[in-house]
Chains A and B, each alone.
Chain A
Amino acid sequence: MTNPPSRTPLRLLFLGIVLVLSTVAAACGSDTAESSSGPITLYSGRNEELMQPLIDAFTEATDIEVEVRYADSAELALLIQTEGDNSPADVFISQSPGALGLLAGQGQLQELNSDLLDRVDAGFRASDDTWVGLTGRVRTLVYNKDLVATTDLPSSVRELTDSSYAGRVGVAPTNGSFQDFVTAMRNEIGDAETAAWLEGMAANGSPNYPKNSAIVEAVGRGEVEMGLVNHYYNLRAVEADPSVPSVNHFFPADDLGALVIVTGGAVLTSSDSPAASEQLLDYLLSDEAQETFVAETQEYALASGVANSGPDGAPALDAFEVDTIDFDLLGEGLTGTQELIRSSGIEQ
C-alpha cells in the first residue's frame, strides 16, 4: 500500500528547517529600528483602496514615509489599547468616533495643535482636542424600490417602531455605527425614550445583520425591505451592480435619523514623531485630499472652505441639527449604550 521512502521525512524536515530559518531572517530584515526621523506608522481603520493613494501623495509632497497597517477600526483601537505606551503606531484613523473616544478616555491620544483643529468646525472635533474629524457620513434608511412604495417611507426614524414596519427594517445592533447612532439618540432624547425606541424596534422583530454592507446586500436581494445604515454602502453596491434595486432614503436634517457620523484621526501619546504625524492629518484635511474623499465616497468634506454637497439627495452639511458627537458619552459612557441596546432585546 505505502512504500516507505525513508528519505522523504528527512527532506520534509530539512525543508521545514530551511523555511523557519528563512522566515526568521526575513523577519529580522524587516525589523528596522524606529527613530524620530524614520517613517511614521499609521493604523488605518479606513480601507487601503481609499487611503493608499492619499498616503502616497502625502509622501510625494513631504518626503515623509508612512507605513500603514490596515484593519477594522475597532480591532485597531483594541490593539493600540493593549500595546499601551509601547505602541509602534503614531497616527490612528478611525471609521467611527467611538473607537477614538475609547482611546481618548484611556489617555492615549495627544492634544492636537490649534491650527490643525481649526481646519474643521468645532462640532466635528473632540472637545478635549484629542482628535479631529476628517469626513462625515450620514445615517440613512436604505430600501428596496421594488418592494417599498415611496409613500410608505417614514419622515422620522422614530416612526419605525410603528407596527406597520414590523419585520421590515434590518438593523446592525452589534455594529459601531449603530452604536454611535444610539449614543447620539441618548444625547438628544434621553435614555428612557431611547430605550423605548429600541424596545419598539425589538418588538417589531427587526432582523439583525452584523454590519451595514450585509444589510444593503439583503435589501438588494429583497430579503428585507429596508435597513438602517450609513449612506455610502449603497453607493458602492449600486456601483458594483447597477441593476440592484436598493435606494437611499434620507431623513430630514432635523430628524434624529439624520445623524452625521464623522471619521477622524488622532496622534498617539506614545508617538515619537508627533510633528510629522500632525502633518499627515493636516494633509488629509487639505483641499486635494478632502476632494478625493468626496469623489470616492460621496462623504461630506469637513475642512472649512471645501465644497461639500454630500451624497445626492441628502441635506447640506450645515442643515443638520443632531449633535454628532457627544463627548461626555464617548469612551466610558458608551458602556451605557451597550447595556441599553442589550437590555432592549433588539439583538435577536
Chain B
Amino acid sequence: MASSSNAPTASPGAGLGGLAIAIGALFIAPFAFVIQRNAELGVDLFDEVAARTTLDPLGRSLLLGVTVSGTAAVVGTAFAWLTTRTDLPFRRVWRVLAPLPLVFPSFVGATALIAGFASGGLIEQLLAPLGDFDLPNIRGFRGAWLVLTVFTYPYVYLPVAARLGSLPPSLDESARLLGRSPWGVFRAVVLPQAKGAIWAGSLLVFLYAISDFGAVALLGYDTLTEQIYADRLFDQARSMALALLLALTTVGVVVLERRMRGQLDTAQTVSSVELAPVPLGRWRWPAVFGVVTVVGNALIGPVAILGFWAWRGMTSDVASIGRSFDAGALVGPAIRTALIALVTAVVAILAVLPIAWLTARYRSRVGEIANALVVAGFAIPGVVIALSIVFWVLEAPLVSSLYQTLPLLVLAYVLHFGAQATRASQVAVAAVPLRLSDAGRTLGATRFRRLLAIELPLMRPGLVAGAGLVLLSTMKELPATLLLAPIGFDTLATNIWSATEAGALAQAGLGSLVLVALSGVLTWLVVLRQISHY
C-alpha cells in the first residue's frame, strides 16, 4: 500500500509516487478514450464548441451546476450542524434519514417526484377534495434545480457532519458563553471549521449536476449531457466532441476549486468530553420544520409514491399487473447489489488512499494531478466510462479475458465514483499526527505494522465516510452495470430499470423500496456507527 522505505517523512518514497502514477494512469482511461474517438472521427472541436447549439446547453449545464451546488451546500451544512451540534428534537432519527436521498437512482427519484408533484400528479389529486389546487409547473430549470438539490445535498451533509462530529465543540461553547446567538455561533465558529468539507461536498454536487442525465431529461432541461446523449448514436462526432468539452470543463472546475479552497484543513485532536449541544431556543421548531421539509421532499415523498405503486400492484386484481409482480425475484439482486457495492467501496478506498497520502502529507504535484483526474472522472457519463473500458480492455492481450467479468465492473465503478472517496481520504490522512508514526518507527515497528496498528485506526472515520459515499453510488449505478456485468448478474438497479422499461410500475416501486431499505441498513452498519457522534 504505502511506501515501504524508511525515508524521512519530509518526502514521499519512490514506491508511493510510482503507485500514485499507476493509479492515476488508470483514471486517465476514460479521458484517453474520448480523445482517441475525437481524433478517429476527425472532430473539429472548435467548430463544434463555438456553435450556438453547443454554447447554450453548456451555459445551462454550468448554471445548473452552480445553483444546485449552492443550495446543496446550504441545505447540507445546515442539516449537518443541526444534527451534530444542536438540541434539535429527534436528532438520531434525522442522522439516519439525512444521507438516504443519495440512494435514489436519478431516473427513479425524478420519476417519483414528477408523479407526485407535477401538474395533475398525485398531490394535486389528493388535494382535489379540498379545492382546485394548481401546483406550480416544475418542468425546466426550476424542476431540475429542485430535484437535483434534494437528491445531492447528502454529498455535503455527510462530510460536514463527519467533520463537525470529529471536532471539539468547546469553541461553540465559548462563543455561546460570550453571548452569540445560534446563528452567530454558526457563522463565527462552525462555518470556518467546516469550510473544507463544504467545498469538497459542493464540488461533488457540481460534478453530479453537470453529468446527470436522468433527472434533467425527465424535467425537460436541455443540458450538455442531454446533447451528448441525444447524439450518441447518429452524430458520434458531435457527441464525442461535447464529451471532451464536458471533460475539459470538469478538469478546469476541479483545478479552480483547488485554488479557491486553499490549503486543506489542519487536523485537530479529538476531544474526549462531550459538551452540551447548542440550544436552539425559539428557533427550535422552525428548524424542525426545515428538516421535515427537506426529508419529506427528498425521502418520504418519493418513498410514499414508490410504496403506492407497489401497493397498487399487490392489491390489484388485474391479472396483467400481478403477472409481473414478484417480490422473491428481488432477493438475489439485493444480495448481489450489497456485495458488489461493498467490494467497490473497499477497492475505491485502496485506490485513492496512496493519492490522498501524497496530497495530504507531502503536497506532492504528482499527487495533485492524480487527484484532479480521479475527481474529474465523476463527471464523465457512465456510458462513456463503460465504453472506455470496453475499448482499452479488448485491445489488451491479457486482461481481455476479464471482459464482462466482475473485476472490470468494479474497475468501472471505481473510475466513476473514486472521486467521492478522495476528499474524505485526505481528511483521514491528515488526522494521523506525524509524531505518532515517528514514535512507532523509533520503537522498531515495520511499515506495514505501523499502518495497521497506528494509522488505520486513526484514519478510520474518514475512510469510512468516503467508502460510504462510494457504496451508496455503486448500489444505484445503471449504465456501466448493464453493459459490463457478467450476463445474469442483475442488481437492484438493473431490475428497477427493467421493470420501468416494461411499464411494470409496481415491480419498479417495490425494487426501489428494497434499494432504499438496503442502503439504509448498510449506511447504518458500515458508515454511521463508525463515525463518531452516531
Query: Which residues of A does B touch, CB under 8 Å?
Result: 1-2, 4, 6, 8-10, 12-13, 15-16, 19-20, 23-24, 26-28, 30-31, 41, 47-50, 67-72, 74-79, 82-84, 86, 88, 98-99, 102, 173-174, 176, 179, 207-210, 213-214, 217-218, 220-223, 233, 236-237, 239-242, 334-335, 337-339, 342-343, 347-348
A49 and B504 form a contact (CB under 8 A)? yes
A20 and B318 form a contact (CB under 8 A)? no
B394 and A84 form a contact (CB under 8 A)? yes
CA distance A210 to B106 in the complex (A): 14
Query: Mask for B365-399, Cβ within 8 A of A = 1, else 0?
Result: 00000000000000000010011001100100000
A9 and B456 form a contact (CB under 8 A)? yes
A102 and B234 form a contact (CB under 8 A)? yes
A9 and B234 form a contact (CB under 8 A)? no
Give every chain A residue within 8 A of B498 (Cβ-Cβ).
Answer: 47-49, 70
A49 and B121 form a contact (CB under 8 A)? no
* Chain A, interface SS category: helix
Q: Using known A-B contacts A27-B407, A221-B119, A335-B234, determine if residue A240 contacts B483 with beta carbons closer than 8 Å.
A: no
Can you list 20 residue pairs at the A/B interface with Cβ under 8 Å?
A2-B270, A6-B457, A8-B530, A9-B456, A12-B346, A12-B460, A19-B343, A20-B343, A27-B407, A69-B483, A74-B233, A98-B234, A102-B233, A213-B500, A220-B120, A239-B321, A241-B312, A334-B234, A335-B237, A338-B230
A4 and B457 form a contact (CB under 8 A)? yes
B230 and A240 form a contact (CB under 8 A)? no
B502 and A10 form a contact (CB under 8 A)? no
Give every chain B residue within 8 A of A176 (Cβ-Cβ).
Answer: 233
B230 and A174 form a contact (CB under 8 A)? yes
Give every chain A residue within 8 A of B457 (Cβ-Cβ).
Answer: 4, 6, 8-9
Give every chain A residue within 8 A of B230 (Cβ-Cβ).
Answer: 173-174, 338, 347
Tell me how far the C-beta of B51 lies from the nearest C-beta in chain A, rounded to whole angstroms. 9
Give every chain B residue within 8 A of A207 (Cβ-Cβ).
Answer: 139, 220
Give every chain B residue within 8 A of A220 (Cβ-Cβ).
Answer: 120
A49 and B487 form a contact (CB under 8 A)? no
Q: Using known A-B contacts A49-B504, A208-B220, determine if residue A26 contacts B406 with beta carbons closer than 8 Å.
A: yes
Known: A12-B346, A82-B390. 10 other contacts (CB 8 A): A2-B461, A8-B530, A20-B347, A26-B406, A31-B401, A48-B502, A71-B482, A221-B115, A239-B320, A337-B234
Give every chain A residue within 8 A of B520 (Cβ-Cβ).
Answer: none
Give every chain B residue within 8 A of A209 (Cβ-Cβ).
Answer: 218, 220
Q: Which of A9, A217, A218, A334 contacts B452 (CB 8 A)?
A: A9
CA distance A142 to B391 in the complex (A): 41
Query: Mask for B416-442, Cβ within 8 A of A = 1, else 0?
Result: 000000000000000000000000000
A338 and B231 form a contact (CB under 8 A)? yes
Tell me how far the C-beta of A65 lies from the nearest C-beta in chain B, rounded to whole angstroms. 11
* B32 CB within 8 Å of chain A: no
B410 and A10 form a contact (CB under 8 A)? no
CA distance A84 to B40 in the complex (A): 15
* Chain B, interface SS category: helix
Name the interface residues of B269-317: CB closer than 8 Å to any CB of A: 270-272, 274, 312
Give every chain A residue within 8 A of B452 (Cβ-Cβ).
Answer: 9-10, 13
CA distance A8 to B456 in the complex (A): 10
Query: Which residues of B does A touch, CB under 8 Å?
Result: 53, 114-115, 118-121, 139, 217-218, 220, 222, 226, 229-235, 237-238, 270-272, 274, 312, 318, 320-321, 324, 339-340, 342-343, 346-347, 350, 383, 386-387, 390-391, 394, 400-407, 410, 452-453, 456-458, 460-461, 479, 482-483, 486-489, 494, 498-506, 530, 532-533
A98 and B270 form a contact (CB under 8 A)? no
A88 and B403 form a contact (CB under 8 A)? yes
Which residue, of B119, B383, B390, has the highest number of chain A Cβ atoms within 10 A? B390
B318 and A242 form a contact (CB under 8 A)? yes
A6 and B453 form a contact (CB under 8 A)? yes
Give every chain B residue within 8 A of A233 (Cβ-Cβ).
Answer: 503
Give every chain A residue within 8 A of B118 (Cβ-Cβ).
Answer: 218, 221, 223
Q: Which 7 A-B pairs have the closest CB atoms?
A: A236-B503, A221-B120, A16-B346, A174-B230, A210-B217, A334-B234, A222-B120
Tell me how far the C-beta of A271 lies from the nearest C-beta in chain B, rounded to whole angstroms. 16
A70 and B226 form a contact (CB under 8 A)? no
B502 and A174 form a contact (CB under 8 A)? no
CA distance A338 to B239 in the complex (A): 11
Closest residue of chain A to B478 (Cβ to Cβ) is A71
CA distance A88 to B402 in the complex (A): 12
Q: Which of A23, A98, A213 contacts B407 (CB 8 A)?
A: A23
A98 and B233 form a contact (CB under 8 A)? yes
Give every chain B residue within 8 A of A19 (Cβ-Cβ).
Answer: 339, 342-343, 346
Tell me how far the C-beta of A192 lies from the nearest C-beta in chain B, rounded to whole angstroms. 20
CA distance A82 to B389 in the complex (A): 10
B222 and A347 form a contact (CB under 8 A)? yes
Tell me how far the C-beta of B530 lies from the nearest C-beta in chain A, rounded to whole angstroms. 8
Give every chain B residue within 8 A of A41 (Cβ-Cβ).
Answer: 487
B234 and A79 form a contact (CB under 8 A)? no
CA distance A88 to B222 in the complex (A): 35
CA distance A339 to B270 in the complex (A): 60
Closest residue of chain B to A69 (Cβ to Cβ) is B487
A86 and B115 form a contact (CB under 8 A)? no
Give every chain A residue within 8 A of B488 (Cβ-Cβ).
Answer: 30, 67
A30 and B405 form a contact (CB under 8 A)? yes
Give every chain B residue within 8 A of A48 (Cβ-Cβ).
Answer: 498, 502
CA distance A48 to B494 in the complex (A): 11
Give every chain B residue within 8 A of A49 (Cβ-Cβ).
Answer: 324, 498-499, 502, 504
Which residue, of A176, A218, A236, has the highest number of chain B Cβ atoms within 10 A? A218
A27 and B405 form a contact (CB under 8 A)? yes
Q: Using known A-B contacts A338-B234, A343-B53, determine if residue A71 contacts B483 with beta carbons closer than 8 Å.
A: yes
Closest residue of chain A to B33 (Cβ to Cβ) is A82
Q: Which of B324, B347, B383 contacts A78 (CB 8 A)?
A: B383
Tell me how far the C-beta of A138 lies from the nearest C-beta in chain B, rounded to whole angstroms. 18
A335 and B387 form a contact (CB under 8 A)? no
Q: Which of B237, B501, B533 contacts A47 (CB 8 A)?
A: B501
Give every chain B residue within 8 A of A24 (Cβ-Cβ).
Answer: 406-407
